[in-house]
Structure formats: C-alpha cells, structure tokens
Amino acid sequence: MDFELGEQQTMVRDMVREFARERLAPGAAARDESGQFPADIFRELGELGLLGMLVEERYGGAGMDALTYALAIEELARGDASVAVGVSVTNSVCQWPISRFGSEKLKERVLPPLARGEVLGGIMLTEPQAGSDLASLRTTYRRDGDGYRLNGSKAWITNAGVGRFFVALATRDLAEGARGISAFVLDAEQPGVVVHPPERKMGLRSSRTCMVTLEEARVEADGLLGEEGRGMQVALATLDHSRLGIAAQSLGVAQAAMDEALRYCKEREQFGRPLIDHQAVGFRLADMNTELEAARWLTYRAAWLSERGGRYTRTSAEAKLLASETANRIVAAAVQLHGGYGYSREYTVERLYRDARVLTIYEGTSEVQRMVLARLLKELDSTAPA
C-alpha cells in the first residue's frame, strides 16, 4: 500500500490550504454573523478551478480525481464550512451526475459554465415530506412536447437563489414509487421556479439554503439524466459519491476544532502550568487527534476506491458516518476544553460547534448510514477482503 499523496494532490491541497487560511478563515465569523452569501469568494474559487474539480478538461473542468477533490473540500471546511458546503454541492451532487449520466448535448450545454464557476449548481431532492425515504417524494413530472414539466415543492436546497442548474428528482406517478422516479437537470432561472426566503439555520449560516416551489417548470428534452424511471439509481449513485464530500467537510471542521483546542491548551495556564501539561487534558487531546486520523484515512480510502470502478457504497457510508460523528465529538470536546470561553461567540469553537451539528444529518443521517451498512453486512461474504 502507498499512503503518500501524489505531487498534483499535494500541490492542490497546499494551494487550497493557503487560500482557506488567508481568504476564508479571517472573515468566517463575520459571514456567520451576517448570513450573507459570499459571491466574491465564489468568483475567486472559480478562477482557481475549484468549482469544476470533477469535470473533464474538455468541458472546462479541472479533471481532478476524487481524492484530490476530498483534500480540497477538507481544507476549505477547515477555513469556513459554509463555503465548503457550497463548493461541494456544485461539484458533487450537480456536476458529477451530469458528467456520469448526462447526454453529450447536455454536458456541452451546462458543464462549461458550471465548471468555470460562471454559475453554481445543486440538487433538488429533499421535500417537506420526503427526506431519507426518497421513494415517497411527491414532485411530479409530465411530458410536454419534446420536454417535461415539473410541479412540486423541494426543501433544504443548498445554493438555491444563487445557483442556476439543479439536478431535480420527480415521479411520473405517485403510485409507482421508486420505479416512477426520474432525474432531470433544471434551469432555475425561469418562470415557474419560485425560491423562498433563506432558512434561518443554526450553523453554516452564509451557505444559502431555501425551499423551492416548482410550478410547471420546464426541462428540455436533453435534460433527462439516464433513462425515465431510473432516477432512483441516479440519486443513489450520486449520494454514494457526495458522501465523500460530507466526510471531507467533517474532517476540515474537526481539524479546525483540533487546531483551536491545541492552541488554547498550550496558552491557557491553570494551577501554574499550561492545560496541555495536565494529564487529563493531554490524554483527551491525544484521543481527539487519533479519532481524527482514523476518520481521515477511511475517508481517503473511500475516495480512492471510488476511482477504481467497483462498488464503494459501503466504504462511502462508513466514511460519512465515522467522519461526521467524529467531528461532532471533537468539536464538543474542544468547546469543553475552552471552558466558559467555548460558549462565547468571541471564540471560533462556538461557531464550529454549530457548523458541525448538521454533518450527521444531511446527505443521509447517521441512522440512514447505519441502515445502509447493516443491509450490506447481511450480503457480505465473511471470507472476502473488505
């Protein structure tokens, strides 16, 4: 096994790390306070090639592998998780399924502006009554000439109001369940796409998240991803991949909390010596760092496996589950180590605590990951390598 990053991977990681340290981290608290979407930062991210990481170069993308993408998302989240989630969404749940399932005509039409960062993207999957249970979604579609019309409501849509192209899931007949679901690429800059006011969230406050109503929203003929009735397969494949981004975000948030905890425990003195020199504190920091490293290498392995052409559902779910749960434990511990200061907005760990909470919820809750893993364990050949 070779655990060394390649030259290109190291270069991208270091470049994004510097950008996150110099451009994202200094203004993260102010953006959290205002809740304003940082359009200027996203323009810079586009210029750096970070808004089309997974798209082939012939469509204007950077053509990065999944591990390089995960490294970039981790570093962005270390600087500001609100920015990282917007970058992850436009790359992973929008551009990746278009690249994988879209027609050549669709790719040529929508990927270049997305990959160059001229527009952002997202996915319209969750609904007010359908989250983990995708088969129960109620947004419908019907044929209209050579295209389609979509009607329904979508909830918790990241990049809504600031993005243009969205992968949208809809059913042709509620009675068909999963067999009736198809996946489309919807242009949100049209009449019939109503974006509601941003949600007032606990964390990730400068990431735009809205409810969206579709009223006879038009999808062009080439906007169908894959075949009709195969939308569930598109969604599940996309979620397998997008969990890598959530796991990477979790690593970045956890690392930021680890950085803050170490800094504070080295500087803060109690009973005549730095906190880190007290055994209970030192041991806790050691456990935090060990858990973080374990989550990091499972995430990197999942990203590596995703490029090998085989099934990586299990490892992706494991990485998302472990990384997101680990991030929440590490951030909570960092707040505790700060004592009363950890409860103050003057300290970074307070924001990290709020940002981390959603990591075990979106892109499939921890409970859903365990359901997926339990099902796969039933199918597992105990004599086969993991």
Q: Is 143 exposed, middle or buried (0-12, 13-18, 19+ CB in 10 A)?
A: exposed
Q: Identify the H or E element spanning 183.
A: strand 181-187
Q: Is residue 228 a contact partner of residue 54, using CB atoms and an 8 Å limit?
A: no
How far apart are alpha carbons 82 and 86 in whole angstroms? 7
Q: Identify the H or E element spanning 142.
A: strand 140-144
DSSP structure string for 33-74: HH----HHHHHHHHHTTTTSTTS-GGGT-----HHHHHHHHH
Closest C-alpha to 137, from 219, 231, 264: 231
Catalytic residue list contains 22: no
Closest C-alpha to 137, from 217, 223, 214: 214
Indicate left, alpha or beta for 255 from its phi (over 0: left) and psi (-120 to 50: alpha).
alpha
Catalytic residue among 74, 291, 318, 363: 363
CB atoms within 10 A of CB 193: 22
Catalytically active residues are 363
